[in-house]
Structure 1
Amino acid sequence: MKKTALIYCEDHFGKMDGKTANGLIRSSRKYQILGVIDSTQVGMDTGEILENRKNGIPIFSSLEHALNILPSVPDQFIYGMAPSEAFLKNRERNIILNAMKQGMNIVNPLHEFFTQDDEFMKYASEYKVDITDVRKPSLKKDLHLFSGRVLNVKTPIVAVLGTDSAVGKRTTSVILEDALIEKGLNVAFIATGQTGLIQGAKYGVAIDALPTQFLTGEIENQVMRAYEEENPDIIIVEGQGALSHPAYISSCGIIRGSRPNAVIVQHPPKRKNLGDFSYMPMPTIQSEIDLIESFSITKVVAVTINHENMTANEIDDVIEVYEEQLKIPTTDVLEHGCDKLVATIYETFPSLHKKIKIGVK
C-alpha cells in the first residue's frame, strides 16, 4: 500500500515554484496524497486549480487544520515547493518541526539537507521519524564518470526537453510513459529532478545537486541500469531547465549522458521571460530546436505546449501555427492527450511496431 502524505505548498500551489506539489497531485506512484497546505486557496479542490476538475484532494490552511480534518495523521510530510533560493524560512522550519512532533516522516526536496541539521536530527530521533533528503547525492566515491557504455544501447531513447524550467517536461514525460505502456510497450522512465523521484520513479537522480564532473556519468548510469534491469522497448528521459538557459547546465548533462535518439520540446508560448530570471527573454521554440540539433546528434521530433495563460482557442491556434512553421507534430498533452506523440514515436522508431502486444491498439 502507498504511504499517505500531506504536502506543504504555502502560497505556491498551482504556480511555478509549487511544481513539486503540482506534480505529486497529478501523479504519485509512491504516496497517497491526502491534501495540500496553502492558506491562500483553503477550501478549494486541488484538481480544480490544476485541471479545472475536482479530484477529491483538498487544500488546508495549516498543518493544524489538516490534522483536525483528516481521519488520521499522514505518514509523510512533503515540502512541496522548489523556490529559487532553495532554503527554508524560519516559519517553515517550525512547521516541519511540528510535523515531526506529530509523528510524520519528512520528505525534503531542497538543496538544504535536513539530515545535516542538528535540531532536525534531534527531533527525528526523539519522535522516531525518518528524514529523506531527496536531492542529497551519493558520496563522491560512489558517483560515476561517463564511460561510453550508453553508446552501445540499441533501445530508442527519447528526451523531453524544454525552453525554460517549470514548463511541464516531467508532466509530459509521465503522461507519455503511461500512454506508451497502454500500447503494450515496456517503458523505462529516467527522472532527473527531485519531483520525479518523490513521485516514485525507479530510475533517476537529482542532477542539479551533483558536481558537474559527474553529471553525464550519473545520467548514463541511470540509463544503463534501466536498460540492463528492465530490457525496455523504449527509454524516456526527463529534461531539466533548458539548453539555452543562462543559469542552468542540466540539459547539457542530460543530452551528453543519455544520448537521446529523439527529442520532444516543451514550450509555453505565452511566457515572455524566463521563470526565475524576469530580466531574460524567453527563447523562441525555433531557436531552441536549432540549438538542440546543433549541440547533439539527434532530431527534435515533436513540440508540446504548456498552456499557461492560454485559452482553448489559443492553444489550438498555436498548434496549427507551429505545425505549419516547424513541420513537426505539436500538441498539448493535458488538453489533447498523447496520440500525436505516440504516432510520432512509432514513425521515428518503426521497430516498435513489432513490440505491440496482441489485442492492444
Structure 2
Amino acid sequence: MKADALVYCENEFGSVDGKVANGLIRQSERYSIVGIIDSSKKGQDTGERLDGVSNGILIFESIEHALEELSTIPEYFIYGIAPLASFLNDEQKEIIFTAMKSGMNIVNGLPEFFNDNIHYTNMALKYGVTIQDVRKPPARKNLHNFSGRIGEVKVPIITVMGTDCAVGKRTTALVLVEALRNEGLNAVFVTTGQTGLLQGSKYGVAIDVLTSGFATGEVENAILNAYEQEQPDIIVVEGQGALSHPAFTSSSAIIRGAMPDAIIIQHPPKRKSYCDYPKIPLLDLVDEIEMIEVFSKSKVIAITINHENMTNVEVDNAIKRYESKYDLPVTDVLLHGCDKLVRELIKTFPELKRESVLI
C-alpha cells in the first residue's frame, strides 16, 4: 500500500522549481499525496492548479493548517522543491524540524544530505522519525564504471531529451511508457533524477550527484538491470537538463550510458532563456536537435511540447509549425496524448508491432 505523504512546495507549486511536487501530484507509485504546502496558493485544488482537472488534493497554507484539516498525521513529509541553491536557509530548516516534531518521517530530494548533518539526525532521533536522502549516491565501492555491456541490450532504448531543465522530460517519458503498455508492450521506465525515484521508479539513480567517472556507468547499469529483470520490449530513459545547457553535464552522461537507438526531444516554445539563467538565451530547437544527433549518433524521431504560458490554440499552432518545419511527429502528451509517438516508434522499430500483436 502507498504511504500517506505531505509535500512542501512553498511559493513554487506549478512552477519550474516545484517540479518534484508537480511530478508527485501527477503520478506516484510509492506515496499517496494528501496535500501540498504552498501559502501563495492555499485552498486551491492541486489538479486544477497544475492541469486544469480536479483531483481532490488540496494546497495548505502551512504544516499546522494541513494537520488541522487532515484526519491523520501523514507518515512522510517530502521536500518538494528543486531549487538551484543546494542548501536550506534557516526558515526552511525550521519547516523540516516542525515536520519531525509532528511525527512525520522526512524524505529529502536535495543534494544537501540531511543524514550528514548532526542537527537533523539528532532531531530525528529525539522524535523517533527517519530521514531518507533520495539523491545520496551508493557507496563508492558499489558504483559502476561504464562497461560497454549496453551493447547486449537487444530492444530499443529511447531517451527523452530536452532543450532545458524542467521542461517535462520525465512526465513525457512516463506518459509514453503508459501508452506503450496500453498497446500490449512491455515498456520499462529508467529514471535519472530524484523525482522519478520518489515516484517509485524501480530502475535508475539521481546522476547529477555522481562524479563524472561514474555517471555514465550508473546509467548503463540501470538500463542493464531493467533489461535483465524485466525482459522488456522497449526501454524509455529519462533525460536531464539539456545537452546545450552550460551549467549541467547530466545529458551527456545519459546519452553516453544509454547509447539510445532513438531520441524524443521536449521543448517549451515560449521559454526564451535557460532555467535559472535569464541572461543566457535558450538554444534554438533546430540547433539542439543537431547537437544531440551529432553527439549521440542517433536520430531525433519526434518533438514533444511543454505548453507553459501557452493557450491551447498556441499549442496547436506550434504543433503544426514544427511538423511542417522538421517533418517529425509533434505532440503535447498532456493535452493530446502519445498516439503519434507510439506510431512513430512502431514505424521506426517494426518488431514492436509484432510484439503488440502477439500480446
Range into which the TM-score falls when normalised by the shorter chain:
over 0.9
Counterpart position of 2:218:
218
1:357 deviation in Å?
5.3
Counterpart position of 2:292:
292
Matching of residue 96 in structure 1 with residue 96 in structure 2: yes
Partner amino acid, structure 2, of 1:25: I
Matches within 5 A, 1:183-222: 183-222=183-222
RMSD value, Cα: 0.9
Q: Distance in 1 between matches of 2:184 and 2:120?
A: 45
Matching of residue 313 in structure 1 with residue 278 in structure 2: no
Counterpart position of 2:235:
235
Counterpart position of 1:51:
51
Counterpart position of 2:331:
331
Matching of residue 244 in structure 1 with residue 233 in structure 2: no
Which shifted more, 163-172 or 45-54?
A: 45-54
Q: Distance in 2 between matches of 1:133 and 1:29?
A: 18
1:155 deviation in Å?
0.9
Q: Distance in 2 between matches of 1:10 and 1:151?
A: 44
Q: Distance in 1 between matches of 2:280 and 2:49?
A: 28
Moved over 4 A (4+): none
SS in structure 1 of the partner of residue 309 of structure 2:
coil
Counterpart position of 2:4:
4
Q: Which string of whole-angstrom CA distances, capped at 9 and with x for unpartnered residues, describes residues 283-312 of structure 1?
A: 111111100111112100000000011111
Partner amino acid, structure 1, of 2:342: V
Matching of residue 108 in structure 1 with residue 108 in structure 2: yes
Partner amino acid, structure 2, of 1:166: A
Q: Distance in 2 between matches of 1:215 and 1:113?
A: 19
Q: How many residues align structurally?
A: 359
SS in structure 2 of the partner of residue 167 of structure 1:
coil
Q: Distance in 1 between matches of 2:175 and 2:38?
A: 26
Structure 2 unaligned blocks of 5 or more: none
Counterpart position of 2:72:
72
Partner amino acid, structure 2, of 1:175: V
Q: Distance in 2 between matches of 1:31 and 1:220?
A: 27
Counterpart position of 1:127:
127
SS in structure 2 of the partner of residue 68 of structure 1:
helix
SS in structure 2 of the partner of residue 158 of structure 1:
strand
Partner amino acid, structure 2, of 1:141: K
Q: Distance in 1 between matches of 2:184 and 2:30?
A: 22
Counterpart position of 1:179:
179
Q: Distance in 2 between matches of 1:99 and 1:306?
A: 34
TM-score when normalising by structure 1? 0.98
Matching of residue 165 in structure 1 with residue 171 in structure 2: no
1:152 deviation in Å?
2.0
Partner amino acid, structure 2, of 1:350: P
1:103 deviation in Å?
1.2
Q: Distance in 2 between matches of 1:246 and 1:352?
A: 36
TM-score when normalising by structure 2? 0.99
Q: Which string of whole-angstrom CA distances, capped at 9 and with x for unpartnered residues, describes residues 198-243 of structure 1?
A: 0000001000000111011000000000011111110000000000
Matches within 5 A, 1:142-153: 142-153=142-153
Q: Distance in 1 between matches of 2:198 and 2:313?
A: 34
Counterpart position of 2:283:
283
Q: Which string of whole-angstrom CA distances, capped at 9 and with x for unpartnered residues, describes residues 67-103 of structure 1?
A: 0000000010000000001211111111111111111
Counterpart position of 1:273:
273
Matches within 5 A, 1:247-262: 247-262=247-262
Counterpart position of 2:20:
20
Q: Which string of whole-angstrom CA distances, capped at 9 and with x for unpartnered residues, describes residues 9-56 of structure 1?
A: 000000000000000001111100000000000000001111112110
SS in structure 2 of the partner of residue 94 of structure 1:
helix
Q: Distance in 2 between matches of 1:216 and 1:43?
A: 43
Q: Distance in 1 between matches of 2:115 and 2:214?
A: 23
Q: Distance in 2 between matches of 1:66 and 1:234?
A: 41
Structure 1 unaligned blocks of 5 or more: none
Partner amino acid, structure 1, of 2:243: L
Which shifted more, 259-268 or 117-126?
A: 117-126
Q: Distance in 2 between matches of 1:109 and 1:357?
A: 41
Partner amino acid, structure 2, of 1:268: P
Partner amino acid, structure 1, of 2:173: S
Q: Which string of whole-angstrom CA distances, capped at 9 and with x for unpartnered residues, describes residues 301-331 of structure 1?
A: 0000000111111111110010111011000
Counterpart position of 2:30:
30
